[in-house]
Amino acid sequence: MTLIGNATAAAAWPRPPELPTPVFSDQRWLDAVFLHWRIPEAGAATFMPEGIRPDVFDGSSWVGLIGFRMEQAALGRGPGIPYLGSFNEVNVRLYSREPDGTRGVVFLSLDADRLPVVLATRAAGIPYVWSRIRQQPPFPGSGGRTPLPAGGTATAGSTDEFPVGYSVRRFGSTGARSDFTVVPRLREPATDPLAVFLTARFGMHGRFLGKTAYVPNTHQAWPLFHAEVQQLSDGLIRAAGISVNGLPESVLYSPGVRTRFGRPRVIGAPG
């Protein structure tokens, strides 16, 4: 049986907003693993930028540990940047909402294994951390998984279940570590309201040059599948200042999407 993971997901997703021009970056996010735990709303509120509040589902805020492969990141609509445009990333994030209802994410940390990328983004106020990151295990018979088609969607053409995960080692003797691997259940597309709440996010909230700003992006519905945790030993969430216990309540996998980022806006500023 062949499954098109985003065929039913698209019906459950909100319509992606129109992206403000100009386009600042074009990226592909592949082999995405999403792990999420409930946390108290009051705990998430302490990390929100001024004017932003936690977004809540089922009476709780949520913290996510997300790993993926960045591929062919480009400036504007140009070609992918060689070497620096492709790397592994693992981030810890919370879910945010503006007074007008605009939803986004707040990043507590973003680990990446390209030092120039880390230095440039930290200068812009984005909390990147230089780390050694490995995708694990490599897909049998190739150096990576099936590439994302040009249209930005992905098809699971097999019901074979393979593990996919990431290993993070922050540099320094006291650097935080993380190891997580899941087994996707490719017969089970994830279209439930929680999966949509956690992944239908079209921008990030943060503090930039002393002001709260929103950086928008847009993409089609993730082709999402439920997954099972095979291995989990994480110190990144704790290093970000949040405590979680036990296994994550939501475990998802996606082959990936193509996304574009547009012009940021200052929260509360005209236009």
Segments making up each domain of the chain, as ranges: 5-263
Q: Where does the pLDDT of residue 268 fall: very low under 50, low under 70, confident under 90, or very high at 90 and above?
A: confident
Residue 68 has pLDDT above 60, yes or no: yes
125-134 mean pLDDT: 93
Residues 104-115 pLDDT 10s? 999 999 999 999
* pLDDT at residue 145, as a whole number: 45
**CB contact at 8 A, 105 and 126:** no
* Residue 179 Rama label (left phi>0; alpha psi -120 to 50; beta): beta
* pLDDT at residue 32, as a whole number: 97
* pLDDT at residue 8, as a whole number: 53
46: tokens are 């302490």
In the chain, how many H helices and how many E strands?
A: 5, 13
141-158 mean pLDDT: 40
Of residues 138 and 68, more confidently modeled: 68
**CB contact at 8 A, 252 and 34:** yes
* pLDDT at residue 10, as a whole number: 57
Beta strands in 85-196 (DSSP E): 87-97, 103-112, 128-136, 164-170, 177-189
Residues 184-225 pLDDT 10s? 999 999 999 999 999 999 999 999 888 999 999 999 899 999
pTM of the shown model: 0.87
User: What single letter denotes the amino acid at residue 178?
Assistant: S
* pLDDT at residue 85, as a whole number: 81
Q: How many CB atoms lie within 10 A of CB 227?
A: 26
Residues 6+ apart with CB under 8 A from 161: 183, 184, 185, 186
Residues 3-58 pLDDT 10s? 444 555 555 778 888 898 888 889 999 999 999 999 999 999 999 999 999 999 99
Which CATH number does 5-263 carry? Answer: 2.40.400
